[in-house]
Every structure is written in C-alpha cells, then in structure tokens.
Amino acid sequence: MKKRWILNLILLALVGGLVAFLYLRPKAVVEEKTSYEVSNLKLAGIRAVKVEFPAKSPVIFERVDGYWYMKAPYKQRADQLSVQRILSVIAAKSEYRFSAAALAKYGLDHPLVRVTISSQAGDQLFTYGAYNTVTDEQYVAYQDGVYLLNAAYSEAATTQAIEMVDKNMLSPTEAKTVSGFDFSHLEQWQEAGLNVDVANGQWKTNVDNAKLTQNDLNEWLEFSWKQNPSKAVETYTPDRNATYPSFEVKLGNGKKIHIDKMMESPELLLARPDEGLIYHFSNDVGFTMLNPPLNTK
C-alpha cells in the first residue's frame, strides 16, 4: 500500500513538472511578414486608363461625371466593375519588393501588358511581366520597384474588350428617366397596340380591359429593365434592307430608344441601332421583358 502511494506521488510530481515546463518555456517569436504597398494612388483622382498589349489594339477608358466609358476599341458605356478590377492594382500589397534595375530578369523588358493610369498628377505606368512558378504570382513593375502580385490583376486587364462593355441595355441616366414602353409593333401586342406609361409613380395603359397592379409593374420595370444585365453583348451594324419586330422605350425628356427584336429563340437578341450593340438574354428573361404584367382576363 505504501509503495502505491509513493508511485502516485512520483506521477503527480512528473505531471506538475511537465505543466510548469510548458507554461514557463520561452514563447516562440512569431515574425510578421513584411508587406509592401505598390502605390499610394487614390481612385478618386483617376480620370483615364489605357491598357496596351504587344500585338493588338489598346483598350482605353475615360471617366466622365463619375462614370466610365470605353473610348477604344469601341465607343461604348463601360462595365464599371471591369474598370474597377483593372484599377485595383493601385491598392495592391506584396510580400516581395525587388529593384527595377534588371527588368529582363523578371520578363519586364518586354512586358505582357502595360497599364497607364492618368490623373491630374500625370501618367503612372504599371507593367506586367513573367510569372513566378514557385509562388504562382506575377512580376509587376511600378516606378522603381518590382513586386510579386496575384495574377488576377493582369487577368482583369487582359479581359476581351467586348466583355468590358456595359451589358445593361439602358444607361444609368436612361434607367432613371423611363416613362413608358411602346410595344405596339411586336407581334403579340399589335392587335392591342399596347403602350404602358408611368408618370408620378402611377402606371396606365391604352388596353381597356387591363387591370393594372401598380406594385407588379414597378417590380417589372425595376428587375426586367433597370437591374437586368444581358448575358453578353456583340457589335451590330444595322442593315437598312432588313426589318425586324421592334419596340420603343420612352424617356422623360421625350426621347425614344428604338430596339429591334432580332431573334426570340433559342435566346432573345435585342439590338440598339443607336449604340451598335446586340444584347443577349435568356428566353425566359426575355419573355418577361417584353410582356408587362397586365391582367387582361
């Protein structure tokens, strides 16, 4: 019995010593990784962006009244998020910073892409070079430094130009001032000569037996037209010898936007001759766009 007590005391002492060792041992020093800011540029002051490639035309954006427009290779409204993704490099941080004295070492003597960001302070050049196979990052030069950055920055800049065109059929200004639709030239509405108009928040129509629900029409305008980007866009040269079913979007200033319905199935293709673009919508989304919620039964 006495031997058992002695054994228990020895085990207790060992456990206590182990606990004391773990508690009192020197703590491992955690080294914080160094982080380098690539630039101190601010988004608010930027007014233009130019993306250049070795073997194709540059893509140019300009900001007008706070909204980005593509100036080349197409003169179109730009997809705002696409431009912001290109510009996100100005806020990038890197764990690595190298001297820009030996650009060839990083594939920057012949860069894959050059991004020039213009502001009132002048032009600032970012060049994208070779990829580091160890870190899966890319060498990016700015001023006197070379940084290793996520490849997503150059991927944003090298997106196909047509993919960076705004996919919304209506510009922000147009969307805010929609006052009605003239669907009378579409097959399903020719007999009724359908027009729907909204003024001071109230909808009306020329279809006598329609029972309008104001909330339904408000939601239809909001989600079918104002917040309904197309799946894709493509350039469009109107053919004067071709005729298509068409309709018009009315704006508050009296302007009317003419839209051609070029195809209904397997997807809806709507063209704006004034912009030179065709917008692609899925069949079900397109049906809702061209058929406002009118209870005519």
Instruction: Look at 4-18, 84-98, 104-118 and tell me which has the smallest mean pLDDT.
Output: 4-18
CA distance 297 to 211: 9
User: What's the confidence (pLDDT) of residue 11?
Assistant: 53
Q: What is the pLDDT of residue 234?
A: 97
The confidence score (pLDDT) of residue 55 equals 87
Residues 285 and 178 in one domain: yes
Q: With CA atoms as reference, report the closest residue to 290 among 211, 225, 219.
A: 225
Give me the pLDDT at residue 121, please: 83
User: Which of these three, 160, 180, 209, is where a domain ends?
Assistant: 160
Give the mean model confidence (pLDDT) for residues 105-124: 95
Chain center to CA of 226: 16
Query: Which one-letter amino acid corresponds to residue 7?
Result: L
How many domains would you assign to the chain?
A: 2
pLDDT beyond 50 at 8: yes
**25 lies in a domain?**
no
Query: Do 41 and 71 belong to one domain?
Result: yes
CATH code at 154? 2.60.40.4250
Residue 108: inside a domain, yes or no? yes
Torsion, Cα of 101, 105, 108, 110 (10° steps): 120
Does residue 131 share a domain with residue 50?
Answer: yes
pLDDT at res. 160: 96
Does some domain include residue 244? yes
Q: Per-residue pLDDT tens for 263-292?
A: 999 999 999 999 999 999 999 999 999 999
- Structure tokens given for 182: 């003239």
Confidence class for position 29, pLDDT limits 50, 70, 90: very low
Residue 34 pLDDT more than 90? no
Tell me, what amino acid is at 192? A
214 and 266 belong to one structural domain: yes
Residue with tokens 């006052």: 179
Burial class of residue 58 (count of CB atoms within 10 Å of its CB; 0-12, 13-18, 19+) = middle
Strand order in the sheet with 202-205: 202-205, 195-199, 178-182, 246-251, 256-263, 267-272, 277-282, 232-235
Nearest residue to 172 via CA among 214, 127, 219, 225: 225
User: Rg of the chain over CA atoms, in angstroms?
Assistant: 31
Q: Which of 160, 187, 205 is the last residue of a domain?
A: 160
Q: Whose structure tokens read 């100036």?
A: 71
Angle at Cα 251 formed by Cα 248 and Cα 257, nearest 5°? 35
User: How far apart are the C-alpha atoms of 291 and 122, rounded to whole Å?
Assistant: 50
CA distance 90 to 8: 66
Give burial (CB, 10 Å; 0-12/13-18/19+) of 275.
Answer: buried
- Report the chain's mean pLDDT, rounded to a whole number: 90
Task: Give the mean pLDDT of 93-117.
Answer: 95
pLDDT, position 12? 53
What digits encode the pLDDT tens for the residues 128-166? 999 999 999 999 999 999 999 999 999 999 999 999 999
Name the residue among 107, 105, 127, 103 with its Cα closest to residue 116: 127
110 plus 188 within the same structural domain: no
Of 160, 182, 203, the position where a domain reaches its end is: 160
Give the pLDDT confidence of 51-95 residue by residue, as tens digits.
999 988 999 999 999 999 999 999 999 999 999 999 999 999 999
Asked, for residue 5, whether it belongs to a domain, the answer is no
Kindly state whether residues 247 and 275 are assigned to the same domain.
yes
Lowest-pLDDT range, 4-8, 94-98, 173-177, 208-212?
4-8
- The pLDDT, as a whole number, for residue 75 is 96
Q: Are residues 232 and 284 in the same domain?
A: yes
What is the domain extent for residue 242?
172-289
CB-CB contact of 83 with 93 (8 Å): no
Q: What is the pLDDT of residue 30?
A: 46
- Do 127 and 209 belong to one domain? no
Same domain, 114 and 207: no
Please write the tens of the pLDDT for every residue from 198-227: 999 999 999 988 888 999 999 999 999 999
